[in-house]
Structure 1
Amino acid sequence: MRTPTGGGADLSPGTGAKTVAPGQTVTLSAGRTFTSTDAYGTWRVFSSWLDSAGAWHEEAPLLIELKAPPANTWRLVWQDEFDGSGLPDSTRWGYEVGYVRNGESQYYTQGRLENARRENGQLILEARRDGWNGHDITSASLITKGKKSFLYGRIEARAKLPTGKGTWPAVWMLGTDIDQVGWPACGEIDIMEYVGFNPTTIHGTVHTPFYYHGSAAGPRGGTTPASSPWLDYHLYAIEWFPDRIDFFVDSVKYFTFFNEGTSAKWPFNKAHYLLLNLAIGGSWGGAQGVDLTLFPHRVYVDYVRVYERL
């Protein structure tokens, strides 16, 4: 077998000598598994046979075209389809616990079915006004911190969101070095953020040491309308490259954040972990108050998938 660059390559399994009688038909087979290190182009498979008089006869080479994958091809490398029932898969997800950030009203619980569970092939995050252990409102925030992190690729979640004043669900990412450098130096990528008082708008945002809430520059992000996200499932995604991050709802790209070449503006050349949470109230979610008559609230997540670029 001859490679596109002129080198030789083996087929396996090798086939030894076989004597064929006149009129007899025989089929010989061999194979090769191509890998990412093999050259793209035309490969040639040569074969020959020896007649009874001792003369060799060359057959026309078999041509095999090994093509490079299209530039926009992605390979699935991590996923959770939320099959089965019960608590989220503990090999994939951990929990934030307590009152974590932004002056929010909910207490995040750990390992409590009422707040996070797999059911009917979905993940359900549920915010409840149930007074559990003295906490008026409980909810859940799932994280892959310490279990799985990601650097570049396509990250997507298909989900249905709650609505009503006070709801603040998100699919997002934080740098794995947050415990060492803090926020916003770790970087933050908000794949999907939504506030119930603005029920048809989806937000995609980044936070960096230069661009963040409270800085003179402010965060960088974009918005796009989404039809009835509390009734319909939508696909929320980013495509993250060394030079930019593209934000999508379904097939619509609505914002791109470009690498401006400094760590203060681009802390996204290092691994980040995923978060799925349902917050209630807080600095943004509660900006127009919290309607306490609407509980419980639920986020339904059909799947989360992560791809790498080929």
Structure 2
Amino acid sequence: MVMVRARTLTVLVMMCLVAWGLATPAAEAGNRKAPALDKPRQGGVSLVFTGKARPRAAVRLQVRARAGWKAVGRDRASRRGTFRITLRSPDRPRHYRVVSDGRTSRARTVAPAPVTEPAAEPAAAKPRPSDACGTVPDRPGWAGGGSYQCSFVDQFDGDALDRGSWHVMDGTTSGAACMVDTPETVAVSGGSLRLTARPADRADQCPLRKDGTRASYVTGSVNTFWRWSQQYGRFEARMKSQAVSYAGPQEAFWLWPDTRYSSDATWPASGEIDIVENYAAYPDLAIPFLHYTWNDNGGARHGLNTAWDCLAPRGQWHTYTLDWTADRLTISVDGRTCLTNTAGAPSFRKRFIMSFSQLLSGSGVNTFLGGTRAPTTLEVDYVKVWK
């Protein structure tokens, strides 16, 4: 009984000494666990040491050297008792341990990180072929990986239209204006074809309409009538329609049957491919339209013969593209597909000529009301065709 009371008294005294900070280091350390060192993790050229120690305790990382253990890193444990020390991965097998509160962890053996060969440089991309049209695009649906071949190109350089490639419309009334062949309506300058609609002057003579009147505006339109045509391929043009604050201006990049090879008398069933029509009344849209049945499929049908979601704000340059095969017509604006038609209509299985037009609408919501309107111009930077 006396011995038990003596031991109890000793424990109480030690507890008081620890509380008052008078206990010896050895006695205090004897009540603490040794720190734990996890298996080190390799991370490239780094080696990460983690483990557990007394919360907020100082932790030293040591490596075994010839003269004994050498400190190589340190940290202070978090409130939760975790620590993390990062070193460079050793170049030979080494032994590591951590020391905290005078206690040491079990040593860990670490082998050098495996040497990996540097990743091979990616093979240089094979340069794309080019021709008179520039970089040759891939030919859609061509199983052999073939490419198109340039068949027509005009960059509109110089200061005059190439009359060997282009026919200028003259004396034909369309909408609120008639088309005339004058330098003020059809010109090439600054690297662009410029087709302009403007008020008629005394030198202009528009033909009489059925009601006996003449159009008071003139405009420009060109095509490849009796000069060039093609069946199938890729047609591409970069254009800019002028931004205006009134209805009326209408611009078009379009294809029409070559009458040397087929008739156009049964339009619309004879066929017409409007790659793009821009209307001032819809200043943010480019509108494609395909004509190939006697009643135009009963009207405009989004996703079949037209589209109403092809964004192309006026006053900006846009690239319009048609990819045309016997069974598919795909129209894109600035690389984004806007309309795909897979009807395989006979109307599109023949040669077509190519046209650019600056028009003034005469009906519908885009009707041109006349008045003192400033001239408006369609600019064409280039046109390229592949087959």
Pick the TM interval, shorter chain: 0.5 to 0.7
What is residue 304 of structure 1 aligned with on the other side? 383
| 1:235-259 deviation line (CA, Å, top 9, x unaligned) | 0111001111000001100111113
What is residue 237 of structure 1 aligned with on the other side? 321
| 1:165-216 deviation line (CA, Å, top 9, x unaligned) | 100110001111365634223210001101101100110110013452xx63
What is residue 242 of structure 2 aligned with on the other side? 162
- Mapped partners of 2:163, 2:277: distance in 1: 25
By how many angstroms is 1:285 displaced?
6.8
Secondary structure of 2:309 counterpart: strand
- Determine if the alignment matches structure 1 residue 108 to structure 2 residue 175: no
CA 1:130 to 1:170, structure 2 compared with 1: closer, same or farther past 3 Å? same
- Mapped partners of 2:354, 2:151: distance in 1: 14
- Mapped partners of 1:285, 1:189: distance in 2: 22
| 1:86-140 deviation line (CA, Å, top 9, x unaligned) | 3x11011102222444xx1111012x11101110111000111132425521111
By how many angstroms is 1:69 displaced?
9.1
CA 1:284 to 1:274, structure 2 compared with 1: closer, same or farther past 3 Å? farther
174, 197, 202: which one pairs with 2:281? 197
- Determine if the alignment matches structure 1 residue 173 to structure 2 residue 246: no
- Mapped partners of 1:193, 1:302: distance in 2: 17
Secondary structure of 2:363 counterpart: helix
- Mapped partners of 1:121, 1:217: distance in 2: 38
- Tell me, yes or no, if the aligned pair for 1:148 and 1:273 is still in contact at 8 Å: yes
By how many angstroms is 1:291 displaced?
5.4
Structure 2 runs not aligned, ≥5 long: 1-141, 207-215
- Mapped partners of 1:72, 1:184: distance in 2: 34
CA 1:271 to 1:120, structure 2 compared with 1: closer, same or farther past 3 Å? same
- Mapped partners of 1:129, 1:100: distance in 2: 14
- Tell me, yes or no, if the aligned pair for 2:197 and 2:217 is still in contact at 8 Å: yes
- Mapped partners of 1:217, 1:137: distance in 2: 29
CA 1:76 to 1:180, structure 2 compared with 1: closer, same or farther past 3 Å? closer
State the AA in 2 paired with 1:224.
D
- Tell me, yes or no, if the aligned pair for 2:280 and 2:366 is still in contact at 8 Å: no
State the AA in 2 paired with 1:198.
Y
CA 1:148 to 1:227, structure 2 compared with 1: closer, same or farther past 3 Å? closer
What is residue 146 of structure 1 aligned with on the other side? 226
TM-score, L = length of structure 1: 0.68
- Determine if the alignment matches structure 1 residue 92 to structure 2 residue 174: no
| 1:46-81 deviation line (CA, Å, top 9, x unaligned) | xxxxxxxxxxxxxxxxxxxxxx99737322221111
TM-score, L = length of structure 2: 0.55
State the AA in 2 paired with 1:303.
Y
Q: Pick 1 or 2: higher relative contact order, CA cutoff 8 A, min separation 6.
A: 1
Secondary structure of 2:288 counterpart: strand
Q: Aligned residue pairs: how many?
A: 229
CA 1:271 to 1:227, structure 2 compared with 1: closer, same or farther past 3 Å? closer
RMSD (Å), alpha carbons: 2.3
- Mapped partners of 2:365, 2:190: distance in 1: 29
277, 281, 294: which one pairs with 2:361? 281
The 5-angstrom pairing of residues 1-310 of structure 1 reads: 71=145, 73-86=147-160, 88-101=161-174, 104-110=175-181, 112-131=182-201, 132-135=203-206, 136-164=216-244, 165-177=247-259, 179=263, 181-212=265-296, 216-218=298-300, 220-230=305-315, 232-260=316-344, 265-284=345-364, 286-287=366-367, 289-290=368-369, 292-308=371-387
- Mapped partners of 2:314, 2:342: distance in 1: 28
State the AA in 2 paired with 1:130.
A
State the AA in 1 paired with 2:254.
W
- Tell me, yes or no, if the aligned pair for 1:141 and 1:277 is still in contact at 8 Å: yes
- Mapped partners of 2:185, 2:299: distance in 1: 36
Structure 1 runs not aligned, ≥5 long: 1-67
State the AA in 2 paired with 1:107.
C
**Rg comparison, structure with higher value:** 2
State the AA in 1 paired with 2:204.
N
